[in-house]
A and B are shown apart, each in its own frame.
Chain A
Amino acid sequence: MGAVTEQPDASWLTAATVMVVAGKGGVGSSTVAAAAAVAAAREGADVIFVAVDGRPGMGTLLGGREISDREQTVQRMKGGGKIRARSIPAEQAFGDYLELKGVGGLLRRAASSASLPMIAAATPGLEHLLVLGKVKEMEKEAEADLIVVDAPPAGHAAPFLRSAIGLSDVVKSGPILDQATEVSEMLADPTRCRAMLVGLPEETPITEMIELANDLGDDLSIDLLPLVVNGCWPDRPGLAKSPAMAARSHKLKLTDSAKAALESAASFGRSRLAQQREQIARLESQRSEPVITLPRLATPRLDSDDLVTLADALIGAEFDEDMT
Chain B
Amino acid sequence: MSRSEKRTPEEDQLASLTHVVKSSELILTCGPGGVGKTTTAAALGVAAARAGRRTVVVTVDPARRLADALGLDEGAASDQPHQVKGVTKRATDGELWALMLDAEQTFDRLVREQAGSRKQADAVLNNPVYKAISGSLSGAQEYMAVERLHQLHASGEWDLVIVDTPPSRHAIDLLEAPDRLVGFLSHPVYRTLTVGQRTFAKITDAASSMFLWAVKRLAGPQIVEDTVQFFRSLATIEGGLRDRAREVSALLRGDDTSFVVVSSPRAEAVSEAEHLLDAINDKSFPLGGLVVNLIHPEPTELSEADEQLLADLGDGPLAEQLAWHRELQSLAVAERLEIASLEKLAGAAPVIELPLLDVDIHDVPGLVGLADRLV
Contact = CB atoms under 8 A, between A and B. Distances in A.
Say whether A and B bind each other. yes
Interface of A: 24-28, 30-31, 53, 55-57, 103, 106-107, 109-111, 114-115, 117-125, 127, 152-156, 159, 166, 169-177, 202-205, 207-208, 236-239, 241, 243, 245-247, 249-250, 252, 254-255, 257-258, 260-262, 264-266, 268-269, 271-272, 275, 298-302
Contacts of A252: 309, 313, 318
A115 B66 CA distance: 41
Contacts of B217: 103, 107, 174-175
B169 A203 contact: no
B32 to A, nearest CB: 6
Interface residues of B, number: 85
A166 B131 CA distance: 12
Contacts of B330: 298-299
A298 B220 contact: no
Contact of B318 (A109, A110, A207, A246): A246
Contacts of B65: 203-204, 207
Given A119-B214, A166-B136, A300-B338, A57 B220 contact: no
A282 B341 CA distance: 37
A250 B331 CA distance: 27
B63 A300 contact: no
B332 to A, nearest CB: 9
A123 B211 CA distance: 13
Interface string B328-366: 111100110010000000000000000000111010000
Given A176-B218, A299-B331, 6 more contacts: A57-B267, A123-B218, A166-B136, A208-B63, A236-B320, A275-B358
B335 A26 contact: no
B10 interface: no
B223 interface: yes
A268 B317 CA distance: 16
B137 A121 contact: yes
A137 B243 CA distance: 44
Given A169-B132, A208-B63, A266-B321, A258 B334 contact: no
Contacts of B211: 110, 115, 118-119
A106 B299 contact: no
B266 interface: yes
* 6 A-B pairs with the lowest CB-CB distances in the bound complex, closest first: A25-B33, A26-B34, A238-B320, A238-B317, A110-B210, A154-B167
B138 interface: yes
Interface stretch (B114-122, B142-150, B182-190): B182-190
Interface stretch (B17-25, B44-52, B156-164, B300-308): B300-308
A298 B138 CA distance: 37
- Of the listed residues A107, A115, A177, A239, the one surrounded by the most CB atoms of chain B closer than 10 A to its CB is A115
B218 A175 contact: yes
B314 interface: yes
B138 A265 contact: no
Contact of B129 (A55, A153, A170, A254): A170
Greatest chain A CB density within 10 A among B33, B190, B303, B330 is at: B33
Contact of B316 (A203, A238, A243, A271): A238
A55 B268 contact: yes
Contacts of B310: 258
8 contacts: A26-B268, A109-B210, A121-B138, A154-B168, A159-B136, A241-B317, A257-B302, A264-B300
B227 interface: yes
B61 interface: yes
Contacts of A115: 187, 189, 207, 210-211, 214
A111 B321 contact: no
A26 B270 CA distance: 11
A109 B206 CA distance: 11
Contacts of A262: 302, 318, 321-322, 325
B214 A111 contact: yes
B218 A25 contact: no
A299 B335 CA distance: 8
Contacts of A205: 34
Given A207-B64, A238-B317, A301-B267, A264 B215 contact: no
A32 to B, nearest CB: 12
Contacts of A153: 33, 167, 169
Contacts of A31: 268
Given A118-B211, A120-B138, A268-B299, A300 B331 contact: yes
A258 B297 contact: no
Contacts of B184: 117-118, 121
A195 B169 CA distance: 21
A155 B167 contact: yes
Given A117-B187, A124-B136, A258 B309 contact: yes
A170 B128 contact: yes
A236 B316 CA distance: 10
B73 interface: no
Contact of B187 (A118, A166, A238): A118
B219 interface: yes
A5 B219 CA distance: 48
A204 to B, nearest CB: 4
B309 A255 contact: yes
B231 to A, nearest CB: 9
Contact of A300 (B33, B267, B322): B267
Nearest to B141: A155
B309 A124 contact: no
B355 to A, nearest CB: 9
Contacts of A111: 214
A153 B218 CA distance: 29
B210 A106 contact: yes
Contact of B32 (A26, A53, A245): A26
Contact of A110 (B34, B214, B221, B338): B214
A243 B218 contact: no
Interface hub of A28, A127, A238 (most chain B Cβ within 10 A): A238
Nearest to A174: B220
A57 B268 contact: yes
B375 to A, nearest CB: 24
